[in-house]
Amino acid sequence: MKKSLLALAAMSAIAGAAQAQSSVTVYGILDVGFVGSHYSGTAAPASTVSTGTTNQAGATGGPATQASSAGFGQSAESTSRIGFKGAEDLGGGLSAVFTLETAVDPDGKAPAFAFNRQTFVGLNKKGVATATIGTQYTPMFDVQSATDAAGNNNIVGNAVYSGNLQATTGTYNTGAGPFGGTSTTATTGAPVSMDAANGAYVTRASNALKVQSDRIAGIQGEAFYAQSNNSQSGTTGGISGANNNTMYGFNADYIWNKLQVVAAYQSIRVQQGQTVGTTSATGTGLILANGTAGLFGNNVSDNSTYAAATYDFGILKGYAQYITRKAFSTVDNNFGTSRSAYQLGARASLTPTIQVYATYGLGKSSYAQAGTAYANFRTAQLGSDYYLSKRTNLYVAYGSYNQSSPNSASVPTISSMSGMNYAAGIRHTF
């Protein structure tokens, strides 16, 4: 009897130890409030913008000339989400880690739980590095989000991050492909110019291997590689061959006392074969080519660079940011679009529970097709957070941009336009 009790106690101890070595955490953000917006600009033909975008006027294609909205909305300060992350101690300082995360829609329909934000698994070696594979944030997002005075909110007015023009029931002109800022999947036809309101850089990619070092002597580095695993077949005269989307990038993050300096670079190449004929009368043996400049979206090289510095003066923290991006046809590098911007910002703690922030940015968007066209833009944001607790805060925010196009008559995708957002809401993290 005593032996049985001892054996049971030993088994219970082993089970308890095994359970203690593995942990799973549920986390998330719920952000709701009142959102207002206004857009004013020259509408672009539907053929010159990414397809599938619905604007406030109800048409699919380019933004409406005038559009306004005001009402209860969501995710103005942070995208609402739910996620699961965990770690299992494998011994010797090695652990297995994973994350599953999806956006949620608290002011609309129930979430589909597609885990569309992050989905990855990997290994961590304490004091060395973490290596993960799956859908993940890019190297540029990892350091840019840590050096942004406005915290990468979702309203317009950020020159180095692609915040959407928020409406109460959705967003304007979100776009797709490299020029929408969130995906490495390209669209056919001419691109939307990477202007004041969109396309600062790609924020996440799938099929990605990320290796991030631990911080040693104030320095942390990251390497990133993603490769498409998609392919498609076609018929005579159609698109065929492999759709080869590859991406690589790296960043460096250095902290010394109250100073932080970061830099990042990432490059995406999208190359799709095109059927130009056959080698026999039966239609077999398709001949593939690299496409043409007219298929810019499927044959593109997309490169981004980011650098920033922050300094904590105590009650005030200052931010300086620079970003540049160029995408061009791999068939004709005179056919492309580019965007560069500078931004200064500050965040201050007025009291232990009240913070305020402000940013101001200047940039230039260029587009080359039927000649060289460019636009200059200005952006600004103001906001405040009142923390009711560590997990719950009230917020107010305002953002705006203004873009002028002095020589865009021959290229309608660059136009004079302006937009603004204001929001007041409550955000709870868990």
Contact 324, 342 (CB under 8 A): no
CATH class of 33-77+127-429: mainly beta
pLDDT value of position 69? 85
Q: Scanning the structure block, which residue is given the tokens 């200047």?
A: 362
Q: Cα-atom radius of gyration of the chain, to the nearest Å?
A: 24
**Which residue stretches of 155-262 are H helix?**
none
pLDDT value of position 142? 96
Contact 204, 132 (CB under 8 A): no
Other beta carbons within 10 Å of 246: 16
User: What is this structure's pTM?
Assistant: 0.80
Handedness of CA 193, 195, 201, 203 (dihedral sign): negative
User: At residue 171, what is the residue type?
Assistant: T
Q: Coil, helix or strand for 428?
A: strand
pLDDT value of position 288? 39
pLDDT value of position 124? 96
d(CA 169, CA 154): 14
Burial environment of residue 149 by CB neighbours within 10 A (0 to 12, 13 to 18, 19 or more)? buried
Which two tokens mark 430?
């868990």
The one-digit pLDDT tens for each residue of the chain (430 residues) are 444 444 444 444 444 444 446 899 999 999 999 999 888 876 443 322 222 222 223 233 344 477 788 899 889 999 999 999 999 999 999 999 999 999 888 877 655 556 678 999 999 999 999 999 999 999 999 999 999 999 999 999 999 997 666 655 433 333 333 333 333 333 334 455 677 777 788 888 888 999 999 999 999 999 999 986 554 444 333 334 445 678 999 999 999 999 999 999 999 887 665 544 444 444 444 433 444 444 444 567 889 999 999 999 999 999 999 999 988 777 766 677 888 999 999 999 999 999 999 999 999 988 765 556 788 999 999 999 999 999 999 999 999 999 887 665 555 556 678 889 999 999 999 9
Q: Scanning the structure block, which residue is given the tokens 């993940």?
A: 136
Which phi and psi (to 5°) does residue 177 adopt?
Answer: 75, -170
The set of residues, in sequence order, having a beta carbon less than 8 Å from that of 426 and lying 6+ positions away, is: 31, 32, 33, 392, 393, 394, 395
pLDDT value of position 66? 77
Transcribe 317-341 into DSSP letters: EEEEEEEEEEEEESS-TTSEEEEEE
